[in-house]
Amino acid sequence: MSSSRRGIPWGFVAASGAVAACLAIGWSIAQPKAPVTEPTWTSLFNGKDLTGWTATGNAKWTVQDGVLIGEQNQGQPGDLWTEKEYDNFELSVTFKMVWPGNSGVWFRCPGGQPGYQMDILDKQEYGVTVGTIYAGGFLARNEDESIVNLTDWNTVLILCDGPHIVVTLNGHQTADITDDKLAQGRIGFQVHAGDKYAPMRIMVKECKLRRVLSETEAQAAEANKQCFVCHLDYAEEPLTTTHQKQGVSCATCHGESKLHIDDEDRKTAPDRMIPHHKVAKFCRTCHTDIDEKCPHAKPPAEDEPEQACTECHGKHKLEPGE
């Protein structure tokens, strides 16, 4: 006779537990990783003028009291685009619409041509409202107008991580799609054509972005966190950020340096320190084409010290007394 609990054979209980464990493990593995973003946001709109932006069409774009305003120009529509293109990012836009209107936040628009758009629409007219994604057709529809501040400011977050696109409006997710038609492009705002939209004004008081890091970059960024506890001035240094994008962390050049990290008195040096006159030689370990690309890489005269790569590519050295 098999042992049992409440009439259930122990063998069945054990087997069921094993299956449940396997299912739990499988579920855990199947969950997508949350994207890792840069720690800080970069403002795309400076609140003063249209620096970094370019317009197409004939709409009127002005900046008043720190707010970007777009409206028709004698009935003419148009778009406003970032000069740069972006691929994987989290974009935050705080905006308000004067209705009736038809506008949207463009993203991943190659060369300023239509790409994806987070629509700003009137539900009574279109059946969908703010938070909908359009790209030649509706890819995701938001029909819940209760989450839209029709007469006040709204904040939308647009996450692009490879083909995965998520839109969150005022804390409510309105879209979660997978679409691989467009991988990068410009960000922009639209003023639509049409006499009925003559009174419209699209107003933006904040537009900021932070990049989604690649897996190798995210690993390097995670490794660098312990260094930036003390060396915070290196976190945004071009030499650091450029290497980090390639998956090269502080430890790649300076070693794991565990004793240095644990020394709160800052008296223990990292495992590997490169003297100034040997920096160029050390950089050649990875950058084997320095001699062909860099005009300063030629061997110096006997009475001259060799120029370090860091003299041009970031002030990556401690000042005396640090």
| Domain assignment of residue 60, yes or no | yes
Which of 170, 186, 211 is the last residue in one of the domains?
Answer: 211
Same-domain pairing of 201 and 165: yes
Specify the higher pLDDT residue, 159 or 13: 159
* 222 pLDDT higher than 50: yes
As a whole number, mean pLDDT of residues 234-263 equals: 76
Specify the higher pLDDT residue, 300 or 239: 239
| Domain assignment of residue 12, yes or no | no
| Domain assignment of residue 11, yes or no | no
Same-domain pairing of 250 and 103: no
Residue 269 has a pLDDT of: 81
Residue 268 has a pLDDT of: 86
Query: Tokens 């003419």 label which residue?
Result: 76
Residue 54 has a pLDDT of: 97
Residue 201 belongs to what H/E stretch? Answer: strand 201-211
Same-domain pairing of 177 and 222: no
284 touches 309 (CB < 8 A): no
Residue 243 has a pLDDT of: 81
Same-domain pairing of 131 and 147: yes
As a whole number, mean pLDDT of residues 14-29 equals: 48
Which of 211, 235, 255 is the last residue in one of the domains?
Answer: 211
Specify the higher pLDDT residue, 31 or 221: 221
| Domain assignment of residue 316, yes or no | no
Tokens of 100: 């009736």
- Chain centroid to CA 309: 29
| Domain assignment of residue 177, yes or no | yes
* Residue 32 pLDDT grade (very low, low, confident, very high; cuts 50, 70, 90): low
Give pLDDT tens digits for 116-162: 999 999 999 999 999 999 999 999 999 999 999 999 999 999 999 99
* 253 pLDDT higher than 70: yes
User: How far is Cα 122 from Cα 102, in angstroms, rounded to an integer?
Assistant: 7
Helix, coil or strand: residue 211:
strand
For residue 60, give every residue at least 6 positions away whose Cβ sits within 8 Å of its Cβ, in sequence order, or none: 70, 71, 72, 73, 78, 191
User: How far is Cα 263 from Cα 6, in angstroms, rounded to an integer?
Assistant: 59
* 17 pLDDT higher than 60: no
Residue 262 has a pLDDT of: 79
Same-domain pairing of 197 and 284: no
Residue 208 has a pLDDT of: 98
* 50 pLDDT higher than 90: yes
| Structural domain boundaries enclosing 62 | 42-211
* Residue 218 pLDDT grade (very low, low, confident, very high; cuts 50, 70, 90): low
User: How far is Cα 105 from Cα 46, in angstroms, rounded to an integer?
Assistant: 17
* Residue 320 pLDDT grade (very low, low, confident, very high; cuts 50, 70, 90): very low
Residue 321 has a pLDDT of: 41
* CA pseudo-torsion sign 110, 52, 238, 285: positive
Residue 15 has a pLDDT of: 46
Q: How many H-runs (helices) and E-runs (strands) does the chain carry?
A: 8, 17
* Residue 23 pLDDT grade (very low, low, confident, very high; cuts 50, 70, 90): very low
User: How far is Cα 171 from Cα 289, in angstroms, rounded to an integer?
Assistant: 49
Q: Half-sphere exposure (CA, 13 Å, Cβ side) for 89? A: 23
Same-domain pairing of 143 and 270: no
Total domains in the chain come to 2
DSSP 153-173: -EEEEEEEETTEEEEEETTEE
Average pLDDT over the chain, rounded to an integer: 84
Same-domain pairing of 191 and 227: no
Same-domain pairing of 196 and 76: yes
- The beta strands (E) that lie in 66-200 are given as 67-71, 78-82, 89-98, 103-109, 116-120, 133-134, 138-140, 154-161, 164-169, 172-178, 186-191
Same-domain pairing of 89 and 202: yes
As a whole number, mean pLDDT of residues 229-237 equals: 76
139 touches 179 (CB < 8 A): yes
Give pLDDT tens digits for 275-319: 777 777 778 778 877 777 787 777 666 666 677 888 788 777 655
Give pLDDT tens digits for 62-97: 999 999 999 999 999 999 999 999 999 999 999 999
Same-domain pairing of 60 and 167: yes
